[in-house]
Every structure is written in structure tokens, then in C-alpha cells.
Chains A and B, each alone.
Chain A
Amino acid sequence: MWTPSAAANAYASLARLTDPQQGLTRARGEGSSSPSFAAMLKEAVNSINQTSRAADMQTQAMAAGKANIVDVVTAVAETEVAIDALVSVRDKVISAYEEIMKMPI
């Protein structure tokens, strides 16, 4: 019932990305093996998609009278946490981008 958490994956990719030694410098193009922010976002969204699909399946099974309510609640809570984390990261990144765009040139 425990699935590798989407949020944990997002954190891990973000940590890799923001690691000053390899993340941002390499994302600029020097040695291109580390993921870009777009790739990391895609990965995080994909894994959240999977988590939420599991939660949806549990909810449907409960509506059909098959699933245990405890499983539904834990699956939905896991999805909620993952989405909440990703949305916060996205908001933070967008606000940083806006901050940069506001810079007078």
C-alpha cells in the first residue's frame, strides 16, 4: 500500500537541481547529464499523476463498495501531500522568475 512518494521524488530532483556543485551550473549546459528544470517538473508531475491515479482507483472502488475506507483515506492523503508540495515548488519558481523579469535592465 506504500508507494514511493511523488513528493519525495520531487524533493530529490529539486535537491539535485539546486545543488550548487552540479545542478544549476550543469543545467546551463556544461556537461548535460543532469536534468533541466523542465525535465524535473515533468518527472514530478508524472509521478504525482500516478499517485493520484491510485487514489482515484481507491475512491472508485470505495464507491463500488469494494475498498476499505482506510486505504482510500491514506491514498488521498498521500496524493494531497504530493500535489501540495509540487504546487508550492511551482509557485516559488514562478515567483523567482517574475522577480528576475522585474529586474530593470
Chain B
Amino acid sequence: MITDWLRAPDVWVLTPLVAGLVCALALTLTRRWLPPERPLWLICRALVICAALSAVYGVATARMPKSGGAAVLVCFSSHGSLSTLHMVSRLVGCGLILGTLIPCLIEGRSLAQMGWRWRRAGWYAVGGLAAGLLLATAAPGPGPPPDLAEALSLRPERGWALVPMLPVSFVAACAAFGLLAGWSEENVFRGHLMPALASAGLSPRWANVLQAVVFAFYHVPAHAVAGTPADYAGPAWALVVAWLIVFGLWGLLFGFLRQRTGSIVPGFALHTSSNAMRYVFRHGPLAVMVARLHG
């Protein structure tokens, strides 16, 4: 009986855990021959972690229905416990195993070395959250999927009924993205890869540029799997270039914040809030509310 679900399609929700385990095992077994104390091997091993994170991100994007997440945050969950397990699996696989256990316990980097310094952390967090809010307000995205708005069957004058859901959805999105994007990606790219590049003798500027390049490529599989936006008619390569530029610039900004302040907290706060805000604006109750109020 226990092997029944191994043949079932739902087993993909365990991908982050499997990726975390395989990565941890591979890096542990190769520790003697490819020691992270040598800068070159340290960089290669960091790239393996990035590749594992990227693969998990791609699989999760391919397997999750496009509006599923929106449904969860708006008013109902169509995928129930499986969706919850998927979220927990990503939090543990990406946030805990790939983003914390591997850099700290296997690669030997402490949280303080990764940039988790608490001096002025409160100010950095507030600044990052405010900047994320401003960015999301400036570019709120295309709004909710039309069918989802239809699903709610709200009349325009009843759009305000969704206001009480805003803080809940924002806190939920911050918690989820804080661990998924903020914690795991910041730890791996700015906390581990960037110092690894610096230890190979690269100047801080070049270390930042290279980690931003890797950060940009990290996003490509997931976005390629998600497909082109419905209103996009140009060639696919132009879209990939656009993704690389956008995510590369984000990576540069996060790396710059890390180097400038010596702390990973500002990048973490900005990363979390920009992701969470974009989600709330594009898929959450605010998107539906705005869409309904403006017809």
C-alpha cells in the first residue's frame, strides 16, 4: 500500500525534499575529494545548490495550476491538503535543507558569515518592506485571471468586502515568500555564492555581477515552463533576454545591498516584500477587488 502513491502523479510534491536530500548527500560524499575549503570547489559546490534550487522551482511551476495559488489566498482551496503538503515540502526542501542546512552544516558557513547580522535589522526590514510596497504599487501587473474574478461573482459595489482579507493575505504571502524566496535565495546567492566568488580572488564588484548572472539564469527554467504571457506576441528568445535582464538587475540590487550594508537583512526584506506584494496585487484579494471596482 505504501508504494501505491509512488506511481501516482502527486508524488511530485516531494521534489524539493528529494532534491534537498540528493544535494546534501552528493555534497557530503564529495567533501573529501572536492573540499569546499578550496575556492574553486567551493564555487562549483555552490553552483550545484543553485542548480538544485532552480530545478525545484521549475518543477513546482510546471506542476502547480496557474490559478491554484490565487484560489488559496482569495477564498477557497481547490487542492486542499496536497497543496499544503507542497508548500511545506518547498519550505523544508528549499528553505531549510538547500538554503540553511547545506551551506551551514556541509559547506561550513555560519549564519553570521552569510550576513545575518542583527544590528539595524529592524530599520533594514522596514525599509525593505516599504520599498517592496512602492515597487509593487508602481507596477501592479495585469490583474487576476479573468475567470477567477468571475468565480467570485462580486458586484462592483461589493468589491470592498475583500478589504478585511488584505492583511491576512499579505501576512500569509510574506511568510511564504519570506521563507521560499527571501530566506533560501538570499542565503544561497548572496549569503553563500557571492562570498565564495570573493574568496576566489574576485573583487566585490565582479563577485556581485557573477552572482547576479547566476541568479538571473536560476529563474529561467521556471519562467520557461510557465510559458509566455497571453498578450505577448514577440519571439521567445526576446522574452528570455528580458527575464535575464530583469532578474539580473534584481540580483545586482540585492548583492549591492548585501555588500553596502554588510548585512543580508535589507536584501531579504526587499526580496520578500516585493514578491509578496506582487502576489497580493496580481493574484490576491487586492487584485480581484481592484478589477471589480474598475469594471
Q: Do A and B bind each other?
A: no
Where the two chains meet, the residues of A that have a C-beta atom closer than 8 Å to any C-beta of B are none
